[in-house]
Amino acid sequence: MNKRNTIVRNAYALVGRLASHYDGMMQNESLLGRFAIRFLWQLDGEKYEAFLRQAFQGLPKDFTGDLLEIPVGTGTLSLPYYKNMKASSITCMDYSEEMLARAREYGKELGLGKIRFQQGDVAALPFEQDSFDCVLSIDGLHAFPQKDASLREIHRVLRKGGTFTGCCYVKGENAITDLFVNYFCATCGFFTPPFDTAGSLEEKLKRLYSETTVTTVGSFAGFLCKK
């Protein structure tokens, strides 16, 4: 394990132990979470709702295929979304055991007994080629230490015609958010530079996928790609 992977693992181990605070921010519910969403992420009001729509734009609520979510984090945004996807096969993966433990617990609370939770590294996925119909990655790409290898692995495990979708932070959209990311998130290990702009992200994805759409809400790019 290289130094950056260790920093990221330790950072998200801490987040896993403080899951209630993290979930409050992601769901825009706690006082601290509302402050972060409004002032640091600049996603106040309707922008937050647009961020959520963008994150799940490529995953229909009646999805019935094989789905991989990586990273699942604590599952605070995605697991409730899966409640109506009873005919799908869902695998949720994360690098952090602590985050994964919280996701498992939350899955039990929601009655999602069929979901598989698995620890793993997105840069070396333990799946055969052409294993999934959809890969969902919400707020993951900006955290991955080995971004190019991770994108290649995601492409490898997708079936032809499959969908890669989700969202991530991109630089150059908002100065306040960029400062917060560079001086806090990257320093603490939550995000890993270098960071893409929306344009450079789109270029990378277009080299891998036959169809690519990239949109932005605040400093977050949503992507919808077809293999």
What six digits make up the tokens of 152? 């290649």
Tell me which amino acid residue 204 is.
K
Tell me how far the alpha carbon of residue 20 is from its chain's centroid. Answer: 18
Task: Sketch the domain layout of the chain as residue ranges.
Answer: 3-226
Q: What is the mean pLDDT of residues 133-142?
A: 96
User: Which residues in 116-131 are b (16+ Cβ under 10 Å) and which e?
Assistant: ebeebbbbebebeeeb
Q: What is the mean pLDDT of residues 98-102?
A: 89
Q: Helix axis angle, 97-109 relative to 3-17, nearest 10°?
A: 30
Strands 132-138 and 116-119: unpaired
CA dist list (Å): 159 to 40, 67, 97, 227: 37, 11, 28, 7
Q: Say how far apart CA 130 and CA 134 lie, in whole Å.
A: 10
E strand or H helix that includes residue 88: none
- pLDDT of 11 reads 45
Which position has the higher pLDDT, 115 or 35?
Answer: 115
Secondary structure of residue 172 in the 3-state scheme: coil
* pLDDT interval class at 9 (50, 70, 90): low
Task: Choose the weakest-confidence range: 11-20, 37-46, 109-118.
Answer: 11-20
Q: What is the mean pLDDT of residues 176-196?
A: 92
- pLDDT of 32 reads 65
pTM to 2 decimal places: 0.91
- pLDDT of 113 reads 86
* Percent over 70 (pLDDT), the chain: 85
Q: Say how far apart CA 146 and CA 123 lie, in whole Å.
A: 6
The domain made up of 3-226 has a fold known as Rossmann fold (3.40.50)
Q: What is the mean pLDDT of residues 29-53?
A: 82
What six digits make up the tokens of 46? 């309707």
